[in-house]
Amino acid sequence: MAGRRMRHRHRNRHSQKLGGNSCCLYYAQDGRQYVVASAPEVGILKSLGIVENAVIQKKLTYRMGGPVLLKVDSSEIAIGKDFAEKIEVRG
Amino acid sequence: MASCHDVHEDAAVYHKTNKILLMGNPNVGKSVFFSQLTGLQVMSSNYAGTTVTYTEGTMELGGRRYTLIDVPGTYSLDAVSEAEAVAVRFMESSPLAVVCVLDSTNLERNIKLGLELQRFNVPIIYALNLVDVAQRHGVQIDAVQLAQELGAPVVPTVAVKGEGFDRLRQELEKVVSQPGFKPNFPAQIGDQWQLAKQIAARVRNSVSGELSFFDRLGSAVLQPWPGIPIALAVTLASLGVIVQGGKTLEGILLILVENALVPFFATLFSSFIPEGVLLNVLIGEYGIFVISFEWIVALILPYVFMFYVVFSFLEDSGFLPRLSVLFDGIMRKLGVQGGSVITIMMGYGCAVPAIIGSRTATTRKERLIISTVVCFGVPCISQTGALISLFASFSPILLVLMLLLSLVVMAAVALILSRLLKGDVDPMVIEIPNLLMPNGKAYLKKLMLRMRNFALDAEGPMLIAIVIAAVVKETGLLNFVAGYLEPLVSSWLGLPREAVMALILGVVRREMAVAPLLAIEGLTALQAFVGGTVAFLYLPCLSVFGILAKEFNAKVAVAIGLSTAVSAFIVAGVINQVAQLVM
């Protein structure tokens, strides 16, 4: 668990380094629309349309390490924190 | 629920020449199509993963018989997952036609799969499902234009209400009645995602729609407020319905058993069998024809039935994925992910379908954690029913304490295993289906199938347990074994000698580790709780051993068996010893 947290911290720093208007989905503001800048190469994310340049709406971030709730096209999708931290979005 | 009866893959199905495939994204109501088109008993569910294995049925069109295959729901045909690989295999096995179910409320992604299917050059009929839900969300889809865009027939349907099936059958018949019919799909230029989005934009019109109560409830449950209170209220209400309904049924059945069934068999057997061991084995205190009725019919069946009445409803309504989302944060801290909430809840019915259902986990580590959690900390409904009966004569506080103990055990097992086992657990990715009133026909079929499976799966081991009980008790073997287990049962656990029967029978079925305690007179509240704790943590039943060995291996089955048994004696013993000191 400790190792996992360290990795996350590292990733967050990395995402901040990208700078500009790109930030990771997990910490992006709720209730706004974003364009995916990069997403992990995971089959299920691709299948659900969370791919580069996809337009997504972030509806909600669940507290205490919960998931984020997105609207992609017309479907609602919840994504666990550990994936949401790896998805970079532009505002 | 994937029953253990249909989990196999028969290679011969690929070679059948009269196949029609039913395909589509997960959660589009495909299983309802299947049960409407074939009239065969099948399971239909609203959450991803129930149709990991395919289902096969017979369908009649124009007087001819065809094999309809419900292919596992997939988002794409990239063959990245097991389900997608199966789907591709089916598409390559020269089917006569494909019915591709499209969800009107998620048009882009569904059209994308619809376009992907065209590369196999098999005739496709598109069923545009959930048009009523889409309309309520203010979306109307031009089916005629969609048919032009896709170069194939498009039939609007509302599967849960059985609308659109006549036309669907007509369109299918047109295709399959022409041997060698080749489809004429338009050429696809560019990226399929972009193409799907363009088509969706062209066929979709905005209309004024009014959200139904269920649509609004579906959105409300997803918000932590009021979602979490609603989720807790629904869970409590479900529990209340199961317990109260079960108790009522139990009361009715018990009158029937005690006043009609048991006296009938007692008179019957004593009329031609002389008094002695044989007569006692049949109709004595632990006689086969006494306890098989008292335990199975009156004690266990009502709760099993009520559990599936409630669970199948929650499952078909689309409520469970919402629970996964709300509890993902907590589950993540325990080392798993929110999706496992559904599997664990299934375990409150029976561990066997829960362990099969854990196939939806993406890593072996996650599967192993969930299966172990279910074996350790989740009492099956048969056992819960027996525990409710056991605690009923004391105080409901005992039941609440047992529930708390169950939660603590689950959390502890998940935490320990997530640290101990190598590998990763993938984060949750879950698509949230529409909240719907389940289709009555599909719901009743599912309920019937579940009860039938329960009878088939549980009846055998239960009867074995009952025969063992009758023989062990009536031949005096019980006293012999009790002598050896005396120190453990009496000194450490503080239970009466007769409780040994529970330990012997508990190996076969979980509720049988409780049932013998019910027959002991003068049990104290502490003894009931300690006995209940042993039973709750004790070995999973024989069927669970079987499924663990099959789904994992014998080593896992033995490890789980040993650790549950050992922890049962340690935890229950400690509770007894501490309580003795305090009291």
User: What would the mean pLDDT of B534-541 be, rounded to a whole number?
Assistant: 90
Sorted by where each begins, the domain ranges of chain B are 11-210, 224-582
Domain containing residue A60? 2-90
Q: What is the pLDDT along chain A (91 residues), one digit of tens a residue?
A: 344 444 444 444 444 444 456 789 999 999 999 999 999 988 889 888 898 888 999 999 999 899 999 998 878 999 999 999 999 999 8
How many beta carbons lie within 10 A of that of residue B224, not counting itself?
Answer: 16
Tell whether A24 is within 8 A of chain B (Cβ): no
B70 touches B34 (CB < 8 A): yes
Contact A76/B326, CB-based, under 8 Å? no
CATH class of B11-210: alpha beta
Q: Identify the three-state secondary structure at position B337.
A: coil
Per-residue model confidence (pLDDT) at position B57: 82
**Chain B: residue whose CA lies nearest to A79:** B429
As a three-state string, the secondary structure of B206-237 is: ECCCCCCHHHHHHHHHHCHHHHHHHHHHHHHH
Tell which of A8, A11, A24, A74 to mutate to test the B interface (max B CBs under 10 Å). A74
DSSP string, B387-447: HHHHHHTS-HHHHHHHHHHHHHHHHHHHHHHHHHS-S--PPPEEEEPPP-PPPHHHHHHHH
H-type alpha helices, A1-91? 2-18, 43-47, 81-84
Of A62, A78, A80, the CB nearest to B224: A62
**Structural domain count of chain A:** 1
List, for residues B496-509, the tens digit of each pLDDT value.
988 888 888 888 78
Rounded alpha-carbon distances, angstroms, from residue B290 to B272, B300, B476 = 18, 14, 18
Tell whether B583 is within 8 A of chain A (Cβ): no
User: What would the mean pLDDT of B159-175 be, rounded to a whole number?
Assistant: 92
Residue B12 sits at the vertex; the CA angle it makes with B9 and B14, to the nearest 5 degrees, is 85
Higher pLDDT, B220 or B281: B220
Tell whether A55 is within 8 A of chain B (Cβ): no
Q: How far is B414 from chain A (nearest CA, A)?
A: 13
Whole-number Å distance between alpha carbons of B344 and B428: 15
Least confident of A80-84, B42-46, B128-132, B366-370: B42-46
DSSP string, B224-276: HHHHHHHHHHHHHHHHHHHHHHHHHHHHHHHHHIIIIIHHHHHHHHHHHS-SS
ipTM over 0.90: no
Tell whether A80 is within 8 A of chain B (Cβ): yes
Is pLDDT above 90 for B447? no
List, for residues B30-44, the tens digit of each pLDDT value.
878 988 888 654 543
Is pLDDT above 80 for B11? no
